[in-house]
Amino acid sequence: MSRTIFDKIWDAHRVTQTPGGLDLILIDRVLLHERTGGVALRGLQERGLPVFAPDQAFAVMDHIIDTRPGRTDRTLMPTGTDFILATREAAGKAGIRLFDLDDPQQGIVHVMSPELGIVLPGATLVCPDSHTCSQGALGALAWGIGSTEAEHALATSTLRVRRPPRMQVRIDGELAPGVTAKDLALALLGRFGVGGGAGHVVEYAGSAVRALEVEARLTLCNMGTEFAAFTAIVAPDEKVLDFLKGRPFAPSGADWDAAAKEWLSLASDADAEFEVERLFDAREVAPMITWGTSPQQVVPIDGAVPAVGEGQGTAESQRRALDYMGLEPGARLTDLPIGAAFIGSCTNSRISDLRRAAALLRGRHVAPGVKAICVPGSTQVKRQAEAEGLHEVFQAAGFEWRESGCSMCFFAGGESFGPQERVVSSTNRNFESRQGPGTRTHLASPETVAASALAGHIADPRQVAAR
């Protein structure tokens, strides 16, 4: 019987079917962060339940920590310190591995897990965070859960899940120079909408996907949650093997040889069936930028704000977005002055992202009045960037150079941009007040963020690169 990659992983982890038609699925890895992880661990401990497989559970400080140099347990977020202390105490009692503030392997959970080899092809992995789907880029079945489900996964290494439907998004053609995986993800949202994934396991396939490096695939899968997918996944290939080999938690020796052979067999059969199939031509993608308050409200960088009724979303949601963003239909995005630029988040803060942004910034300086911030996705990324001198490029250009963490990807009562401040950001969500009360966020690639910071207004990175 022909099967998809999802079917193969799901069937290998299916323990039994429970009453009501739910499958009991074996969970290989449980990841936690301090915003919700401490809650799950303490809930378990209050019930007197141990972690079933503590060597398969990992916790990290990333979501609400301070990213400014010289950080401590104190945070700008009210009660943030309490979350940090609670997670530290609970992880110690549970005997699970904690990547604390001063750990050289600390980082945003969806950045440090791949770079350490915690996530592996064919594995099941859960985390109480919606962007866990990022890690499907390595051929894993990874999805976000709630803190109550996290308790169950920690206590039993299983979860009851209804088998989701399957969708294949086949992307062929070649991305043009200066166009990135972030632009591709935004273009897909612009074409199919934020409901395009509709609770499916979305397999990204096609020549354009195979051409992407692993870190670019992580960016593409990251925004599967904005696509309303259950999760996203890409079949593992030699690029994934090269990426994982030698990572701290990856197998080695004979175990690596056996695992690598099995991983390369994790591909959808040629005649596998999907409930939904979508086609997309990568050659149609330009550098993209959002204009509204949903990732689906996006246009090419040289485009204009669409008329009400022409973009994604209801007419009412479009009018509300226009009002919140202070825009009128027909406005050219590149005419908009900005007050801030942010490079970071689990979407675009890996070393390849920083290298590309630094290439545009080298020998240039951000425009007067623009607050520019770069937050590496992990301490390892930060260390590598500094070894390559990238931090000097960012700082010389006028960017703040931070410690790793989620930082200003979202506002949780801590650090934020100002009301009505227009920000170009490499993050994944541009909801109302996502980066601070009243802040107006435009999503884009790190290159577009860098180019806009230099220009003082939304700018096409291809034009900056050509100078």
> Mean of the pLDDT values across residues 268-289?
98
Beta-bridge partner residues of 119:
none
pLDDT score for 412? 82
Torsion of CA 119, 124, 127, 132, to 10 degrees: 70
Give CA separation, 270 vs 5, 230, 234, 273, in Å.
Answer: 11, 23, 15, 9
**Amino acid, res. 303:** G
Q: At what angle do helices 379-387 and 351-361 cross, to 10 degrees?
A: 40
| End-to-end C-alpha distance for the chain, whole angstroms | 56
pLDDT score for 311? 83
User: What are the φ/ψ torsions at residue 461 (nearest 5 degrees)?
Assistant: -65, -25
Q: Which residues are CB-neighbours of 316 under 8 A, at least 6 positions away?
A: none
Residue 231, token pair as written in the block: 């999760």
With beta carbons less than 8 A apart as the criterion, state whether 312 and 187 touch. no
pLDDT score for 126? 98
**pTM for this entry:** 0.98
pLDDT for 69-113, tens place per residue? Answer: 999 999 998 899 999 999 999 999 999 999 999 999 999 999 999
Average pLDDT, the chain: 97
Helix extents (H) in 106-230 = 109-116, 147-156, 181-192, 207-211, 214-222
Q: At what angle do helices 214-222 and 109-116 cross, to 10 degrees?
A: 150
pLDDT for 158-173, tens place per residue? Answer: 999 999 999 999 999 9
pLDDT score for 37? 87
Q: Which residues are CB-neighbours of 242 under 8 A, at least 6 positions away?
A: none
pLDDT for 247-272, tens place per residue? Answer: 999 999 999 999 999 999 999 999 99
